Amino acid sequence: MTALALVAAHPDDVTTLVAHEPPLVQVLPDVDRAVAATRAVQAVYQDRGGATAWRRSSA
Protein backbone atom coordinates (compact mmCIF):
# COMPACT_ATOMS: atom_id res chain seq x y z
CA MET A 1 0.00 0.00 0.00
CA THR A 2 2.88 2.34 0.74
CA ALA A 3 4.33 1.89 -2.75
CA LEU A 4 0.95 2.51 -4.37
CA ALA A 5 0.52 5.67 -2.31
CA LEU A 6 4.00 6.81 -3.37
CA VAL A 7 3.19 6.34 -7.05
CA ALA A 8 -0.13 8.13 -6.66
CA ALA A 9 1.50 11.07 -4.89
CA HIS A 10 4.68 11.27 -7.01
CA PRO A 11 4.09 9.62 -10.39
CA ASP A 12 7.07 11.34 -12.00
CA ASP A 13 9.49 9.95 -9.40
CA VAL A 14 8.69 6.27 -9.97
CA THR A 15 9.33 4.69 -13.35
CA THR A 16 8.28 1.13 -12.49
CA LEU A 17 6.33 -0.45 -9.68
CA VAL A 18 5.69 -4.16 -9.48
CA ALA A 19 2.71 -4.72 -7.22
CA HIS A 20 3.06 -8.42 -6.46
CA GLU A 21 -0.35 -8.92 -4.93
CA PRO A 22 -3.27 -6.54 -5.22
CA PRO A 23 -4.45 -5.44 -1.78
CA LEU A 24 -8.08 -5.79 -2.83
CA VAL A 25 -8.81 -8.58 -5.28
CA GLN A 26 -12.43 -7.41 -5.30
CA VAL A 27 -11.49 -4.53 -7.60
CA LEU A 28 -9.97 -6.75 -10.30
CA PRO A 29 -11.94 -7.31 -13.51
CA ASP A 30 -11.80 -11.12 -13.00
CA VAL A 31 -12.76 -11.01 -9.34
CA ASP A 32 -14.22 -14.54 -9.20
CA ARG A 33 -11.05 -16.07 -10.60
CA ALA A 34 -8.83 -13.97 -8.31
CA VAL A 35 -10.79 -14.91 -5.19
CA ALA A 36 -10.74 -18.60 -6.17
CA ALA A 37 -6.97 -18.50 -6.72
CA THR A 38 -6.40 -16.78 -3.38
CA ARG A 39 -8.53 -19.33 -1.55
CA ALA A 40 -6.73 -22.20 -3.29
CA VAL A 41 -3.34 -20.91 -2.14
CA GLN A 42 -4.69 -20.42 1.39
CA ALA A 43 -5.97 -24.00 1.43
CA VAL A 44 -2.59 -25.36 0.31
CA TYR A 45 -0.90 -23.25 2.98
CA GLN A 46 -3.18 -24.72 5.65
CA ASP A 47 -2.75 -28.30 4.43
CA ARG A 48 0.88 -28.41 3.32
CA GLY A 49 2.65 -25.34 4.67
CA GLY A 50 4.08 -22.10 3.37
CA ALA A 51 6.79 -23.46 1.07
CA THR A 52 4.33 -25.58 -0.89
CA ALA A 53 1.82 -22.74 -1.07
CA TRP A 54 4.53 -20.38 -2.35
CA ARG A 55 5.55 -22.84 -5.09
CA ARG A 56 1.93 -23.39 -6.04
CA SER A 57 1.12 -19.67 -6.20
CA SER A 58 4.13 -18.83 -8.34
CA ALA A 59 3.56 -21.65 -10.84
Q: CA-CA distances (angstroms) from residue 1 to 15, 19, 48, 50, 59?
A: 17, 9, 29, 23, 24
CA-to-CA distance for 53 and 38, rounded, in angstroms? Answer: 10
Q: pLDDT for 2-58, tens place per residue?
A: 888 899 999 999 998 887 776 688 888 899 998 898 888 888 888 888 887 777 766
Q: Note the pTM of the prediction, 2 decimals.
A: 0.51
- Report yes or no: 17 and 4 within 8 Å, Cβ to Cβ: yes
